Amino acid sequence: MLKSGPIQALGAMSGTSLDGVDAAVIETDGQRILGFGSTGYRPYSDTEQAVLRAALGKWPGEDVRDALDVVQAAHSDHLTGFESAALIGFHGQTLAHEPRGRGTHQLGDGTALAGALGKPVVWDFRTADMELGGEGAPFAPFYHFACAKWMGATEPLAFLNLGGVGNITWVDPRKVTPEEPGALLAFDTGPANAPVNDLMLERRGEAFDKDGALARQGEVAQGALELFLAEPYFARMPPKSLDRDAFADMIGLVRELSDADAAATLTGMSAAAVMKALEHCPEPPARLLVTGGGRKNPVLMEMLRVSIDCPVEPVEAAGLDGDMLEAQAFAYLAVRVARGLPTSCPGTTGVKAAVCGGILSRPEEGN
C-alpha cells in the first residue's frame, strides 16, 4: 500500500509537440504541493520523432509497435535516474483524441513500465473520464488549482499552456477543493505551437520558429485570421477539447503566403484563439500565467500582452517551472489516483460528476 502522508512522486509527460520526455518530482499528499524535486528532459532523436509522427492519428488495433517501442524505451531509460520517487505518473504519448467519437489513445504500457522500473506506475488517466461523458482533457487543471493555493493567490487567475494545442484553466482559489462547483473551468483554446512547427518543418526543415524570429519578419494576413476565427469550435461552450491535428487545415489558409507571413499569421491565430477563450471565463482573471513552449516565443507573448486586459507572464513569475509543469501535474495526479481522490470534474472536462481516473500497476504485475 502507498504510505499515508506526503510522498515523493515522479511525473512524466511527452506532449503533442513530440520533442521529448519531461520528468519531474514533487512532494505532495495528493492535495497540497509541499515541495519540488529534481527534473530532467530526454529529447527524442530525429529518427524517434519521425516514428512517432508517423503514428499520429492511429488507434488501438492499428500497427503502432515501432512507436510503442520508442515511447517505452525513452521512458524506461529516462525515469531510472529518479531514485527518490515512490510512485510514477505516466501519461504516455497521445496519438489520437476524439472526445465525441472514438475516444482517446495515449500510447504506452504502464504495467510494463512498472516492471522495468520496479516502482508502482499510474497511467491511462483519461479513459474513465471519457466513459462518464467527459472530454478526457485537459488534465492539468487540478494541479493548477494546487499551484494557485501554493502561490497564496486570493483572486481568480488563469493558467495558459501553449504546447502543440493550447489549453486554459481558470481558477478560483477562494474555493476549498478543485472539484467544488465554480472552482475550475478548463478547456482547449485551439491550436498553439503545432501549426507553426508543422509549417517550419514543411518549408524549412526546422522543428520550430525559434524566438519567433520568422514570424517577426512577417505580417498577419487578416483574411486568413478571420476565416480561422469563424470556426464553430470557438463559439462552443466549454468544457471542450481538441486533437493535435483538429485544425490541420490552418496550413491551407496560409499556403499562398510567404514563409514569414505564414509564420506570423499562424502565430496570430494561436493568440487570437486565446483571446476568444477568455470570453468564456466566469470573470476576468487577475493574471494570466503562461506555461509550455509557447511562452518562449516573444512574438506570441507580445500578441497576447497587447490584447489582454491583465498581466500576461510566464509561470516563472510565480515561482513555478514552465518547462516541467505538465510533468509535475501527472506526478500530482498519480498520488490522487493512488488515494482515490478525483482527478477531473464537470468544470474541467464536462464529465458528469467528479471522477478518479487512472490505472495503478505494481512492479510484480509487469514481470
CATH number at residue 121: 3.30.420.40
2 pLDDT higher than 70: no
**Given the C-alpha cell 506570441, which residue does it identify?**
300
Is residue 267 in a domain?
yes
Same domain, 115 and 145: no
CA distance 120 to 7: 13
Strand ranges inside the chain, DSSP E: 7-14, 20-28, 33-43, 87-98, 103-107, 121-123, 157-162, 165-171, 184-191, 288-291, 312-314, 359-361
Return the amino acid letter for 355. V
Same domain, 91 and 154: no
Is residue 86 in a domain?
yes
CA distance 22 to 13: 5
Same domain, 59 and 177: no
CA distance 143 to 238: 19
Same domain, 258 and 146: yes
Percent of the chain at pLDDT exceeding 90 = 86
Is residue 153 in a domain?
yes
- Model pTM score: 0.93
What's residue 218's pLDDT? 98
| Per-residue buried b or exposed e for 231-243, using 16+ beta carbons within 10 Å of the residue's own CB | beebeeebbbbbb
Write out the H or E segment, with its range, that includes residue 270: helix 259-278
Percent of the chain at pLDDT exceeding 70 = 99
Same domain, 294 and 179: yes
Beta bridge partners of 318: none
Q: Which range of residues forms the domain containing residue 202?
A: 141-318
CA distance 235 to 96: 23
Same domain, 180 and 297: yes
Is residue 222 in a domain?
yes
Model pLDDT for residues 325-358, shown as the tens digit of each residue: 999 999 999 999 999 999 999 999 999 999 999 9
Same domain, 199 and 337: no
Same domain, 218 and 300: yes
